[in-house]
Structure 1
């Protein structure tokens, strides 16, 4: 195995020695090939949570997993973190097979599932970190200094000796992240890390994720939050029915739908809006008191629309590109409240 030098992989291990496990600088942080996971049922066909899913994530990349409930995101994270075994297919983390070399994988990863899972609420924040660090066999002297560093870094020092049951949701999420880092993880799996947080706490949490990216840690982020994915991720993968349907950078993903999605006018004329809504190919017309936003089904619908606007004396307009949320709805489907 090729040994990775500090020049090849730059990490911030909190001032302690690197772990013994080494891996090639060119090895993907995550590689999944044709993963299948079935859940057996009595007297019924098994449920397939993953159906031949393949995914590659480079070292140092923040990669988003986007998809509805039941798409297979959490199942994938559990397989990669050795919590679940795949029915078939192969997955590696930093070159280590998650089935055959599970112990090696667990020394390289941190998992942040969110909520109260994985936290002992009757223990203090400090005791939680010391417990999890001991399980990961972090040397005692290293564990003490790393615990203090993480508590300070994540804004938990003032409540370090308070029971976790007294923590707010945002503080618990930060403690989850500290727990994921207590072993100096190279690869972090984050499953809906800001779910339930207030906007201020979520913004601070995202800032922390950005700092971890700067340390060249690899992060796999499963989320429903389009703003989160667009602001944090180097690439995003859309997951539907247990398989990846597309992978792009957030900036390039708009090309999956259309180069241009619609038009915006500096006008809020109600009569014009009503006329535009009747044009074939126009999917929606909305006004906010100052502007009118027109969305179309495809670029082929633009000529007819532009002729109509010219006939009504419109001389100034702006094109609209699809957002990550627009692409999500187009690729995954508008499921409404369906789960």
Structure 2
């Protein structure tokens, strides 16, 4: 696996020292998609660049299958690859095919293996028709798709993904997620950062949450959501709702300690929304019907990983304050 212990990165200028990563301990095993989440400035990209041997840590240790990226950089680079959605990672004056061939040779992929792999990857990312076109004529999305192919060219043991679907069309992003899931199932270790948290929920079995370079918590997406104490939301639309129905909803909310919002739709229907960590859809429906209202609609929204990340960061901010 990839393991970090007490990982720290400081950027120093004459006037100040900024700590981007502050003592992170992480494990990215083979055969699993591991998430690294946090708000902007949390230290995610810095951490990935250290693991990719692009930055030197200020302190702490990093091991990739017991190899030290500082002492064994060449061996580590042959075992990993990086796909970063916000950066140009291919050469504009080369064709797509030439880029993949060039990077494959840098990774010492034998020619007999590399030739069919280039064709397979171009097909995977939908660039077969543009394979012999210079990248400078590609759109941004096409360039990003080629970067994904480049990141897979050496069949890496560990794949580092920093916002990999940024700027991709939905079908290509979906195909990439399928590829990532398949690679993990076949034994590849994957580290993923993404602002598309539905993507993280779909792919990641384990997630680390960081803020200001510090570790906040870790667990599965479901565990993080439960740990953050986020509330599910229940929304009902009620026809024939007199004052008794509104009073019944407000009374229920007060009894449960739930947050309630009541409004009127354009057709006069009452729209009531309650937020609470427990199961309140049944009690709310019973309160409405018991007060003489008719349910025209009921929606339950479960808390999301985004809700959890925001709650955890808010909690960390209150603690640090």
- Could you state the TM-score of these two structures normalised by the residue count of structure 1? 0.77
After superposition, give the CA deviation of every residue in 1:293-338 in whole Å (9 maximum; x if it has no partner). Answer: 3124x66x99x9999879746899887542111101101239xxxx
Contact 2:248 2:288 in 1 (8 A): no
What's the counterpart of residue 110 of structure 1?
Answer: 81
User: RMSD of the TM alignment (CA)?
Assistant: 3.4
Contact 2:86 2:163 in 1 (8 A): no
1:330 and 2:311 are equivalent in the alignment: yes
In structure 1, the gaps of 5 or more residues are 1-28, 335-339
Displacement, 1:213? 2.4
DSSP 3-state at the match of 2:221: coil
1:42 and 2:14 are equivalent in the alignment: yes
Task: Choose which of 295, 309, 312 in structure 1 pairs with 2:275.
Answer: 295
Going from structure 1 to structure 2, the CA distance change for 1:61 and 1:291 (only over 3 Å counts) comes to: farther
Whole-angstrom CA distance in 2 between matches of 1:215 and 1:315:
53
What's the counterpart of residue 206 of structure 2?
Answer: 235
What's the counterpart of residue 4 of structure 1?
Answer: none
Task: Give the paired residue count.
Answer: 303
1:125 and 2:96 are equivalent in the alignment: yes
1:162 and 2:133 are equivalent in the alignment: yes
What's the counterpart of residue 21 of structure 1?
Answer: none
In structure 2, the gaps of 5 or more residues are 316-321
Displacement, 1:204? 2.7
Displacement, 1:114? 2.0
Going from structure 1 to structure 2, the CA distance change for 1:147 and 1:286 (only over 3 Å counts) comes to: farther
Whole-angstrom CA distance in 1 between matches of 2:260 and 2:171:
33
1:201 and 2:148 are equivalent in the alignment: no
Contact 2:144 2:167 in 1 (8 A): no
What's the counterpart of residue 67 of structure 2?
Answer: 96
- Could you state the TM-score of these two structures normalised by the residue count of structure 2? 0.81
Trace 1:142-161 onto structure 2 (pairs within 5 A). 142-161=113-132
Contact 2:231 2:275 in 1 (8 A): no
What's the counterpart of residue 177 of structure 1?
Answer: 148
1:81 and 2:52 are equivalent in the alignment: yes
Whole-angstrom CA distance in 2 between matches of 1:172 and 1:283:
47
Going from structure 1 to structure 2, the CA distance change for 1:306 and 1:183 (only over 3 Å counts) comes to: same
Contact 2:233 2:300 in 1 (8 A): yes
